[in-house]
Chains A and B, each alone.
Chain A
Amino acid sequence: MTGRAAGPADPGGLAVRVIPCLDVDGGRVVKGVNFAGLRDAGDPVELARRYDAEGADELVFLDITASSAGRDTTYDVVRRTAEEVFIPLTVGGGVRSVDDVDRLLRAGADKVGVNTAAIERPELLTEIGDRFGAQVLVLSVDARRTAGSATTGSGFEITTHGGRVGTGLDAVAWARRAASDGVGEILLNSMDADGTRTGFDLELIAQVRAAVTVPVVASGGAGRPADFPAAVAAGADAVLAASVFHFGQLRVAEVKDAIAGAGYAVRR
């Protein structure tokens, strides 16, 4: 809506989505945020508004709150965000039951990300899909390359606890299974690349892309604008980043320019 005309002409069709991710703890954004002109850089609602104005196509809130009392504030944050920001909002982190999903959707989330609980109890995916439809269900996969004696067919394993604990389960096979169980989207986070700013794990993206027909969101490793079109070329339908946006290292518009420059459609 800004009318910017950088890069080649819009080829039309479905746009590659650019998605900022916010880590929220007890209703506050954690990890530093370095935006000029914010009244309260820790307020997820204000940041959500800011990213919306900058042209973000969706937002992800990752709730890392440990205490259940703190989790109540998450619903309040989702509620306040949905009242002001009119782009899709995915909320993940600590979702363990159909009731958790119901509460988040009622608060105003459009999609809900499920991670560890589905590894422990895969039926949860079908339960959520049957009740609310596949379109609300995002499988969040924290994958890393296997090392030492732990090997999987794909060379990638699922991790839990923010990448600290390896499960020995094949990450690509897990994505394939979840997609056939009715997950509507895969949020694919490379724990090896996460925080390095050296680019997405393109091999991981390509393997999961080949294994599923649902949209794949690439996450982990974004550093330069050119990293984003590379992830799209590897098969990502959407690209997600956190710290490069929060610290003002990259703007959403720059990322879109890079993606458009490579010939893909973006929303302006």
Chain B
Amino acid sequence: MAPRVVVLDHGSGNLRSAERALSRVGADVTVSADPRAAREADGLVVPGVGAFAACMQGLGRVGAVEIVCGRASAGRPVLGICVGMQVLFDAGLEHGVDTAGIGALPGTVERLDAPVLPHMGWNTVHSAHGSTLFAGVEHERFYFVHSYGVRHWPAAAEPRTGSARVSWAEHGAPFVAAVEVGALAATQFHPEKSGAAGARMLANWVGTL
């Protein structure tokens, strides 16, 4: 049976592309804000665009912070995309305002340092050795659109990073492009908008469900 995937609808942007891209690679996809559906799905996708604080508010309204934490600790897969990845970290610093994140991953989301922002377009990624997401698409470009990112990954002493596979990209300076740790996977770029390479990546993720 096709794995059941819920794309969490917390009032953020274009969800149709994620829904269709996941269906295309064989998932049974529902776009939903229902907490029960989000808890029970084989895989939960947390999309997000716009501001970190607004995304956290949207997630708070549908009770998603507890759902994501619960799934992560129970080993049930979650895929965060773009700001949906950023909110998995400890905090976001936007316009001088520090907003608490979900805290499932260590680090702070801050403004990138580059001559042209947003970082918009197709960039290369230095994929982590042994990455599941990047299997077969290690040398492809993926579509990014963001002005903020995680620029520092804490040392291995941090318990949450134990077995983490961290992939990096560069725009002005290096930033985290993707993280895989336990049941959590997250990409700063948009696999659902990254053509055939993105479809392969989503298929890789659906394959873990």
Contact = CB atoms under 8 A, between A and B. Distances in A.
Interface of A: 1, 10, 12-17, 52, 57, 79, 82-84, 86-88, 105-110, 132-136, 184-185, 213-215, 237-238, 265, 267
Interface in B93-150: 115-124, 140-141, 143, 145-147
A108 B124 CA distance: 25
Given A88-B193, A133-B49, A214-B116, A17 B121 contact: yes
Interface residues of B, number: 38
B14 A82 contact: yes
B193 A86 contact: yes
Contacts of B190: 88
A105 B145 contact: no
18 contacts: A15-B122, A15-B141, A17-B122, A57-B121, A82-B14, A82-B17, A86-B20, A87-B193, A88-B145, A132-B50, A135-B145, A136-B49, A185-B120, A213-B117, A215-B116, A215-B118, A215-B120, A267-B122
Contacts of A17: 121-122
Contacts, number: 107
A11 B78 CA distance: 33
A134 B118 contact: yes
A108 B116 contact: no
Contacts of A237: 116, 120-121
Given A136-B13, A136-B49, A82 B20 contact: yes
A267 B143 CA distance: 10
Contacts of B17: 82, 86, 108, 110
Q: Which applies to chain B's interface (DSSP): helix, strand, loop or mixed? A: mixed
B127 to A, nearest CB: 13
Given A86-B20, A135-B147, A237-B120, 6 more contacts: A13-B124, A57-B121, A79-B16, A86-B193, A213-B117, A267-B122
Nearest to A265: B124
Contacts of A213: 115-117
A238 B119 CA distance: 12
Question: Which among B49, B118, B120, B190 has the greatest number of chain A C-beta atoms within 10 A?
Answer: B120
A130 to B, nearest CB: 9
Contact of A14 (B24, B146, B171): B171
